[in-house]
Structure 1
Amino acid sequence: MPVTNDSIPPTTPPGEPTGADALAALARTEQRMVRLTFWQTLLSVAGALIAILALFATLRESNEVRRQTAAAVWPYIQVQMNDFDLGDTAALSLSFTNTGVGPAKVRSLRMTLDGEPVPDWPGLLTRLDQPADSPYGRDFISQRVLAPGESVTVFQTQHPPLVRALQAAIRRPGTVLSMCYCSIFDECWQAESGPVPEDPRPVAACPADGPGQFQG
């Protein structure tokens, strides 16, 4: 009986993998690649997380340093009024004092009398029905820098009629003298006169010069 090639089963040379062995090896390689990709992804995520935490720590430390630096140069403006009336003699003065530990950049002044803005000291005399030649002294403070411990007397008079007119006006609730000032870091506050002393309140920014600002 003749032997044909179709009747001879295929054989694999010794030492060479069979098809099943090749498939198994491929599967193992794919598993190793999957595990390698998993660990690579995990390491990448961990690295990104560490970088984010390091950035957060740096920003937090930077903010803390800035806060401490800002506290070391913190200005604090107090509005002070000194007055007396002894009948024959009287005096009144208004001053701003920086009792903080850093310089204060004076940005703007505002004065209201009975709720209405006053443009300047001569305008105040007019509103108080006082003669324009009433004796008084003044000092300009707008756009100045007050050093720590520095005090500026912006207005003073020893003229009894003017002193009494000012005393009466100051006691009215609609009379306010306010100053807006900033630190060297441009953090700003509003300081105001009043019957009860109050701490300056933080504001986002000082108003720009314009109508309603006091020229003094």
Structure 2
Amino acid sequence: MSNAAWFKRPDMLVGISALVVSFVAVVVSLYSASIDRDYARASVWPQLMVARSYAPQVGKSQLDYLVINNGTGPAIVKYVQVGYDDTYYPTWRALFDSMGLDDVGFVQSQISRMVIPADKQITVLSFTNPKTIEQLSGFDNGLDFTLCYCSIYEECWQVNRQAKQRSVDACIEPSGVLFTQ
């Protein structure tokens, strides 16, 4: 029998080599899985934007407020707040009444607690009456929309009309008035 050190024996060299190769394979596999998870999240990442569209035409002007999903995945809207001068309202009618706008004709779409698919645009509010559009022009700068939405992986963001978007841990409904329409 040979008196060689245990780590110099051929069978031990083969065993240690197999152990090192196995360890490297596990590390590479874990790194690959991490990259796959990141890719899966990125492939369904929503990105909402609140926008205003104004098309002035003689006799056919139109003012729209839009929510656009420019992301690659669906946006799950958890809550919406609509306000004017730091006061929030549950409905469009309550908002317009507080502004002293009695005879406002508008078309609305549901936005609260919706799923907005990728590359989709929702016209949340639309005005075609020139008198109403003129009345609203003075209020436009104080009007605010805040939406909190999540991806299908429960990664959440909050965005407002000024296009300020920030990541949040979760869409926890704030105390105060939430928009119901």
Above 0.5 in TM-score?
Answer: yes
Q: How many residues are paired up?
A: 172
* Higher relative contact order, structure no. (Cα contacts within 8 Å, ≥ 6 residues apart): 2
**Matched AA of 2:70:** T
Tell whether 2:181 aligns with 1:204: no
Counterparts of 1:58-207 in structure 2, within 5 Å, are: 59-85=30-56, 90-131=61-102, 133-172=103-142, 175-194=143-162, 198=163, 200-207=165-172
Structure 1, unpaired ranges of 5+: 1-35, 37-46
1:143-176 deviation digits (Å, cap 9, x = unpaired): 211111111111001123322332222223xx31
Q: TM-score, normalised by structure 2?
A: 0.77
1:10-58 deviation digits (Å, cap 9, x = unpaired): xxxxxxxxxxxxxxxxxxxxxxxxxx9xxxxxxxxxx8xx97x887665
Which deviates the most, 151-160 or 203-212?
203-212
Q: 1:78·1:99 contact (CA, 8 Å) conserved in 2? A: yes
Q: Which protein has the bigger strand share?
A: 2
Q: 1:77·1:97 contact (CA, 8 Å) conserved in 2? A: yes
1:72-103 deviation digits (Å, cap 9, x = unpaired): 11111121211245676532111111111111
Q: What is the CA distance between 1:112 and its match in structure 2?
A: 1.8
**Matched AA of 1:204:** D
Tell whether 2:179 aligns with 1:214: yes
Structure 2, unpaired ranges of 5+: 1-5, 7-18
**Compared with structure 1, are the counterparts of its residues 139 and 89 closer, same or farther at alpha carbon in structure 2 (3 Å cutoff)?**
same
CA distance, structure 2, for counterparts of residue 62 and residue 165 of structure 1: 56
Identity percentage of aligned residues: 25
The RMSD of aligned alpha carbons is: 3.2
CA distance, structure 2, for counterparts of residue 134 and residue 184 of structure 1: 37
Q: TM-score, normalised by structure 1?
A: 0.66
Q: Which protein has the bigger helix share?
A: 1
CA distance, structure 1, for counterparts of residue 31 and residue 164 of structure 2: 28
Which has the greater radius of gyration? Answer: 1
